[in-house]
Amino acid sequence: MKQFNVPNVYRSGLISAIKNARKSKDKLKKDFSPTILDLGSLQIFLARHFGFCYGVENAIEIAFKTIEENPGKRIFLLSEMIHNPQVNAHLKEKGVIFLQDTYGKQLIPFSEITADDVVVIPAFGTTLEIEAMLNAKGIETQQYNTTCPFVEKVWNRSEQIARKNYSIVVHGKPKHEETRATFSHASTHTPTVVINDMKEAHLLAQYIRREKGQSQFEEEFKGRFSTGFDVDKDLQRIGVVNQTTQLATDTQAIAEYLKNVMTQYYNLDVHGIDKHFADTRDTLCYATSDNQSSVNGLLQADADLAIVVGGYNSSNTSHLVELCAEKLPTYFINGADKLISKELIHHCNWKSKEESFTENYLPNKKPLRILITSGASCPDAIVEDVIRKLSVFYQVEEKLDNFIQAFELV
């Protein structure tokens, strides 16, 4: 896989040594068991896969290269480059100006940008409407387009099945940048609707079975369907694609459920299902899948708590928190500074996004066993900072350097 040139400040000697050692022993990525850092009184169980993915490293490389190649020019980002506060803050320090927030709220009016400016499209992609507006202003978009290739894969798959007269059901968070972009691309080719979860899949099934009508659909899915969507006609043939950072198991479950609804409603056998339902399993992102599988492997360990590191508005990171929280106490933090002390942590609720303090979060046990992972937009350096902060609490930091040497010799 291509090696990207990203700022060294995001790299970690410890994490790189661990990842390289694991990769050399498991080239086919079939082993999802954690890496164990036994520091005596503290044991860290580190997920097999975590941190920057291909799309994120690609976006960061393009963004910083753009800054270097355009001295003196105003450089704008359509929204956050990725969902990581440290990376976005770094870009702002370099003079990059954000046009929108993560939910599409305008921070700088588009009317203020000109053909002399540089506009970078973030890893999530953007809508065709915004891209057309920028092109109309004479702004080059392709050169500074950091859209993740796996997001573009979803768009391409949507177009392919649209040509076969399927409508698109997008499984995604309706306000997320990537979902808005995927909806824009899909709805250009075919009728499209966005559903957020299995509950809404059940709701959509009522329209597939014609238990509800057009007016109810327009109310219940307001703002989430393409112009002219006709429930009687456009839900007869569908395919499910996803926001790539959703839980892979959720997308698969939703697709399987809607497939079964079609099978039962149209009285189909296994060979006739493609008349009403398109196979889109190949749109799942490898990094999202690997990171989630690694958390499942991580949770096989006998541990006392989990710490998940990443941006609080990161969809893929929130799902890792969700998986961990089902099994044991889990704390969602975006940096080592949130570990205030051995007795106090400042963390985020993955559902409400509200931050709070928790006292005595580290059980008085020896050894204390902690599971650690991070989202696809979290630099490895931040994960190392978290590990080192915990090791300082237990006065075992010097042992970490021994692990670097040990893994480099593997």
Q: Find how far residue 384's CA is from the centre of its chain.
A: 21
DSSP per residue, 299-350: TTS--SEEEEES-TT-HHHHHHHHHHHTTS-EEEESSGGGB-SSSEEEEE-T
d(CA 153, CA 159) in angstroms, rounded, equals 10
CB 143 within 8 A of CB 123: no
Residue 232: alpha-carbon gap to chain centroid: 34
397 is catalytic: no
Catalytic residue, chosen from 177, 178, 200, 384, is: 178
Residue pair 170/195 in contact by the 8 Å Cβ criterion: yes
Helix (H, G, I), strand (E, B), or coil: what is residue 296? Answer: helix
Q: CA–CA separation, 188 vs 323, rounded Å?
A: 35
Distances in Å between the alpha carbon of 51 and those of 62, 219, 221?
A: 18, 40, 34
Token output for 226: 């393409």
Question: Residue 28: which region, alpha, beta or left (left: phi > 0; alpha: psi -120 to 50)?
Answer: alpha
DSSP states of 253-293 as a string? Answer: HHHHHHHHHHHHHTT--TTTGGGTEE--GGGS-HHHHHHHH
As annotated, the active-site residues are 178
